[in-house]
Amino acid sequence: MANEFTRERAWQLLQEWTASPSLIKHGLAVEACTRAYGGSEASRLGLSGQEAEDFVELYAIAGLLHDFDYDKHPSLEEHPFVGVNFLREEGWPEPILHAILAHADYSGTPRDSHLDRALFASDELAGFLTACALVKPSKSIHEVEVAGVKKKMKDKAFARAVKREDITGGAALLGLAVEDHIANCLKAMQDHAEELGLQGNHQP
Ligand SMILES: [Fe+2]
Ligand SMILES: [Fe+2]
């Protein structure tokens, strides 16, 4: 990947475009999940060294930037199209643009690649796991457990904006049981708890 299209540049862009701290945290949370899926897919493909790092960075950047235009352009007509057009003009890699388009159901962009699927699958679940952590007295993601998450998925009043069918459908797209998908994303977010502000009082 050319040097200017780095995770660092993506992080700058997210901050330039986004005023909402919770939307920035959402980008970081989805990044944690897609980065983890990029890592497992890189191993499955037998990638190593720089090749593996570049591969994983595509996943991380797609996660970080998938909603970067949302603060300024939240309408269905504009998000994520305005952001993707901007990234395309800057020359960001096509797999990132495709995944960002495909995370929006109404874009009509099919979820073809593993990255497309990982991003879609991680988006709603990351929000749901954040909500699960924030109702703990400690507000710690370390106290969230897969069984508790599954239980809360059945509670329609809890985090009602999160579409359960996108979580189960996302797991199916990745060929995973929903428990495994939850476990993967939970671990990824626990590993990044501090930057997500979800470390609670946990002492590592
Ligand atoms: Fe979005
Ligand atoms: Fe999102």
179 CA from centroid of ligand 1 (Å): 24
Chain Cα centroid distance, residue 181: 13
86 CA from centroid of ligand 1 (Å): 16
Q: How many Cα atoms occupy the beta-carbon half-sphere of 44 within 13 Å? A: 8
| Mean pLDDT, rounded, for 10-14 | 98
162 CA from centroid of ligand 2 (Å): 10
Q: What is the pLDDT of residues 107-160, one digit of tens each?
A: 999 999 999 999 999 999 999 999 999 999 999 999 999 999 999 999 999 999
203 CA from centroid of ligand 1 (Å): 33
194 CA from centroid of ligand 1 (Å): 23
Which of these, 101, 110, 121, 104, lies nearest to 174 by C-alpha position? Answer: 121
Determine contact, residues 107/81, Cβ cutoff 8 Å: yes
pTM score of the predicted model: 0.96
Which residues are paired to 199 by β-bridges? 140
Q: What is the pLDDT of residues 177-201, one digit of tens each?
A: 999 999 999 999 999 999 999 999 7
69 CA from centroid of ligand 1 (Å): 9
